[in-house]
Structure 1
Amino acid sequence: MNNTTIGNMKKKKRHQKNKKSINQKTINRKLSIARILISKKERNLFIENFSLLYSSGMSLGRILNILKKESRTWAMRYVIGYIAKNVNAGVALWETFQKTGVLSEYFISLVKMGEESGTMAESLNLILEQQQKEAVYNSKIRSAMLYPSFVISLTLLVGIGTAWFVLPRLTGIFVSLGVDLPLPTRILIGFSTFSSEKGIIFFPALIVFLALLFFFLFIYNKTRVIGFWILFKIPGVSRLIKYVELARMGYFLGTLLDASVPILKSLSSLSEASRFKLYSDFYKRLHEDVKNGLSIEESLHKYKYTKKLIPVSVQALVIAGEQSGKLGSSLIQIGKSFDSKIDTTTKNLSVLLEPVLLVIVWMGVLLVALAIIMPIYSLVGGIGNQQDKINTTSPTPLTEQQEIIEVPEEVIILSTSTEQIIPIAPTNLLEILPTGTGFLNVRSTPSTSGVLITQVEPTETFTYIQEQNGWYEINLDNGKTGWILGTYVSILQ
């Protein structure tokens, strides 16, 4: 073999090696994208379907082919295809699952244990059972929070609709009443004016803000600890969360230990399964302590917040199970005990939250009702006081010597020789329009804070002297003047 042939073979090997390296980089990049795109719901569905199909005795290749066809997303189809390719190449199933980085360590640990011990069916059944339990726990929390969330959302929507469309129509009526408005009514008028002018921007922005607030408090991993801290401060809700986590810990950790899964992997899997960061961090600390050689009893006594997360009675059962070598059985009993308490707590929580929500809604309705009714009571009181003044003031009759005939200023004598008198119509004349209340208040100053002088009725006409800031000064029949709101005035030509 000459040097040229050897050189060509080396070049070919380097080319194949480079091509393989490029292909592996492409695969890793696609797997990284798939980890982001595949949702938790889709991963759980894959685990459930894989466990059911494997338990039926179907071959592994056929199972993966069926799951690939049923997958709705490109990312999941690519991952399943990658798994099938590696399994056909002789790679262990658990190792292939681990390379994808899509499935949890808990699932991979049980699959590895099943492959190595020949009890794959039992391991997958255990996975399926625990996943169903996890779905039950999550649904109980959602069902407990569904009713208050619905009531609060509906109240918010009704409040926005009322403030945006109904309250602005009442503003004109309140202003035309001509009485001193109470503080709730002034606040209501100000809010309704703001809603009519800025509502098209404010209310959509408010909805977006609330949605983002919910996302960062309860969904986003880095900040949802704040939301969980708030939930732990709500009476009833904190108890439900504690019972759910204790039931999850007992059943989840107990079944793993009974299935001979090592304690460190079991604690790591429990930390991944927990939905609440406070408990997840607690399980991580417990894992680190056990890894460093501490017993569970020592680890529980190490942290001052343990009593808030784990009741003393539960700690005693865990410690007793650890000392007797029956920790798995003790944890399963704890899980069953708190599983039954969850149903009772969920019902009690709904009963507790219902009156609280009703009181909140009632207070909102009461404030709006007071803001609307209080001006009407003030108006009725003003009419009563005005009527009392009219009834108590008796006119003094004029004697014949006191009778004076007043000649209107509008009458001008054009000719003294013929004594012809020609009246000239006034030019500053206005008419009172309908107000909705049957009268219009006359005040001493051009403001709703002015003293109430009298009241005039629609269709009456008056001469006016001047106009100022939408108010007109008119001549009254008793020779005095007063101011009326120009909203309900029509200028006559």
Structure 2
Amino acid sequence: MIYRFVGIDESGKKIRDKIEASSFEEAKSKLRAKKIIYETLSQESKTIFENFSFSTKYKIPSKELSLLSRELSMYIRSGISIVAALKIIQTHYSQNKKMKLFLATLSTHLDEGKDFYTALETQSIVLLPQFYKESIKVSQNGGILDEVLLELSRFLKEQERIHKEIKGAFAYPSFMIVVSLLMISFMLAFVVPQITGIFESMNQELPTPTKFVIALGDFFNNHFTTILFALVAFSAIFMLLRAKNERFAYFIDAVILKLPLFGEIAQKSELARFAYIGSLLVRSGVPFVQTINLSANILNNLVLKKLFMQASKMVVEGKELSSALNASSIKIDYAFIQSIAVGEETSQLQNVLTNVSELYFEENRDKISTLLTLLEPSLMLFVGGTIGFIVAAMLLPIFSMSIG
């Protein structure tokens, strides 16, 4: 729970801030430990949205978590304690109240004698990835916290960069699709009905393409609201089922993997993420079975997640990961399985996973570039062809009259 307080610190300065505590008594105890004399102390009231079952934790962006990890790594390498480093970093977040409270809570937990992992696990302000916390847990025991924090920072930064690249790459095609649909809708809903009146007064047989366009225009014009509502309803239901119904989400993910080109890009993107985080966790000293489970949990595709979860159970039984993946009914890129097998045979799995992730990231970058190169002219042809067909269909009766 979060408590608001107004008080005076040990320097005599009046402060207004928040503190995390499980009870009112614990909040008072934490303020006394910080040598703060409070004037008012009350539990923060929930907003109307927090009364629903949505998570109230702040989902920290990858870029922000990457920067925080890099700063912590830098300070720890400089010989500064984690508590002191957190207090320094806290001054950088004066405008971000959630992050400021998160860092203050970590400092409080560390002051109470908890280790860094326990502080991260105990706090309820920020939602952190499980693999991130597990990496911290193992690395602090192995004395390589600064190295692992730096690796986590690189991984998160790379994921953010890839996400931005993909988002930016598909921005223009998405814009073209929206514009083309709007143009076609405008022609069918407003232009075609205007010309239809002229044809009705001719009292002659219209060509089949003209009849088709007129019928399509009438349908679109009469049912525009229904079509719009149906599209919105379909999108909302689809997203709801995708989020809440695991069987439906699994089916959609399976379909995505079977799509030409798109399926290969999606699979290699997921395998690259698995390999990268797997190499990081192996380097951190996380047990291999736990590494597989944690790496699988960051995957978005439920089919591939299930594949690795099943493989981890077979690894517990004594099988190698490559054999478990090869024996599965879910088929993935055979080169990935071969790479894992080589890594297991040579005891160089960490290096192999790192190389595989880099290779797949690079391959996907090239494939997405090729896809966009083909997609842009295809969209132009689709827009031009559709509008050209509508215009030609409207001009056909006029040409027929001229010839007649």
TM over 0.5: yes
Cα distance, 1:349 vs. partner? 1.2
Cα distance, 1:327 vs. partner? 1.1
- Tell me how far apart the structure 1 counterparts of residues 166 and 355 of structure 2 sit (CA, whole Å): 21
Q: 1:335 matched to which residue of 2?
A: 357
**Identical positions, percent:** 19
The AA in structure 2 aligned to 1:351 is T
Show CA shifts across 1:376-426 (max 9, x none).
233334xx3xxxxxxxxxxxxxxxxxxxxxxxxxxxxxxxxxxxxxxxxxx
Q: 1:322 matched to which residue of 2?
A: 344
User: 2:396 matched to 1:379?
Assistant: no
2:376 to 344, 354, 358: 354
- Assess, with a 3 A threshold, how the Cα gap between structure 1 residues 213 and 81 changes in structure 2: closer, same or farther: same
Q: 1:215 matched to which residue of 2?
A: 239
- Tell me how far apart the structure 1 counterparts of residues 310 and 51 of structure 2 sit (CA, whole Å): 29
1:36 to 55, 61, 65: 55
Q: 2:212 matched to which residue of 1?
A: 187
Kindly report which structure 2 residues correspond to 1:394-405, keeping only aligned pairs within 5 A, or say none.
none
The AA in structure 2 aligned to 1:97 is L
Aligned residues: 356
1:305 to 330, 333, 342: 330
Kindly report which structure 2 residues correspond to 1:3-82, keeping only aligned pairs within 5 A, or say none.
36-38=55-57, 40=59, 42-57=60-75, 59-63=84-88, 65-66=90-91, 69-71=94-96, 79-82=102-105
Q: 1:437 matched to which residue of 2?
A: none
Gaps of 5+ in 2: 1-21, 29-42
User: 2:129 matched to 1:104?
Assistant: yes
- Assess, with a 3 A threshold, how the Cα gap between structure 1 residues 346 and 43 changes in structure 2: closer, same or farther: closer
SS at match of 2:94: helix
- Tell me how far apart the structure 2 counterparts of residues 51 and 122 of structure 1 sit (CA, whole Å): 10
- Assess, with a 3 A threshold, how the Cα gap between structure 1 residues 214 and 145 changes in structure 2: closer, same or farther: farther
- Tell me how far apart the structure 2 counterparts of residues 198 and 291 of structure 1 sit (CA, whole Å): 59
> Contact 2:307–2:325 (CA<8 Å) still a contact in 1?
no
1:90 to 108, 113, 133: 113
- Tell me how far apart the structure 1 counterparts of residues 24 and 173 of structure 2 sit (CA, whole Å): 59
User: 2:187 matched to 1:162?
Assistant: yes
Cα distance, 1:140 vs. partner? 4.2
- Assess, with a 3 A threshold, how the Cα gap between structure 1 residues 61 and 358 changes in structure 2: closer, same or farther: closer
Show CA shifts across 1:103-139 (max 9, x none).
1221111212232233221111011011122223333
The AA in structure 1 aligned to 2:296 is S
- Tell me how far apart the structure 1 counterparts of residues 293 and 389 of structure 2 sit (CA, whole Å): 52
Gaps of 5+ in 1: 1-16, 385-493
Show CA shifts across 1:326-379 (max 9, x none).
111122222232233223212211123334434433442243134212222333
> Contact 1:43–1:103 (CA<8 Å) still a contact in 2?
no
Cα distance, 1:226 vs. partner? 4.3
- Assess, with a 3 A threshold, how the Cα gap between structure 1 residues 336 and 198 changes in structure 2: closer, same or farther: closer
- Assess, with a 3 A threshold, how the Cα gap between structure 1 residues 18 and 322 changes in structure 2: closer, same or farther: closer
> Contact 1:216–1:224 (CA<8 Å) still a contact in 2?
no
- Tell me how far apart the structure 1 counterparts of residues 89 and 110 of structure 2 sit (CA, whole Å): 10
TM-score (norm 1): 0.63
- Tell me how far apart the structure 1 counterparts of residues 340 and 119 of structure 2 sit (CA, whole Å): 35
Structure label with greater radius of gyration: 1
Show CA shifts across 1:8-58 (max 9, x none).
xxxxxxxxx9976999xx89x999989813464x25344223213213426
> Contact 2:307–2:328 (CA<8 Å) still a contact in 1?
no
Q: Mean Cα displacement is larger for which, 291-300 or 225-234?
A: 225-234
User: 2:152 matched to 1:152?
Assistant: no
- Tell me how far apart the structure 2 counterparts of residues 219 and 275 of structure 1 sit (CA, whole Å): 11
Q: 1:240 matched to which residue of 2?
A: 265
Cα distance, 1:151 vs. partner? 2.2
> Contact 1:254–1:329 (CA<8 Å) still a contact in 2?
yes
Cα distance, 1:85 vs. partner? 2.8
> Contact 2:275–2:357 (CA<8 Å) still a contact in 1?
yes
- Tell me how far apart the structure 1 counterparts of residues 94 and 294 of structure 2 sit (CA, whole Å): 30
- Assess, with a 3 A threshold, how the Cα gap between structure 1 residues 379 and 37 changes in structure 2: closer, same or farther: farther
The AA in structure 1 aligned to 2:69 is S
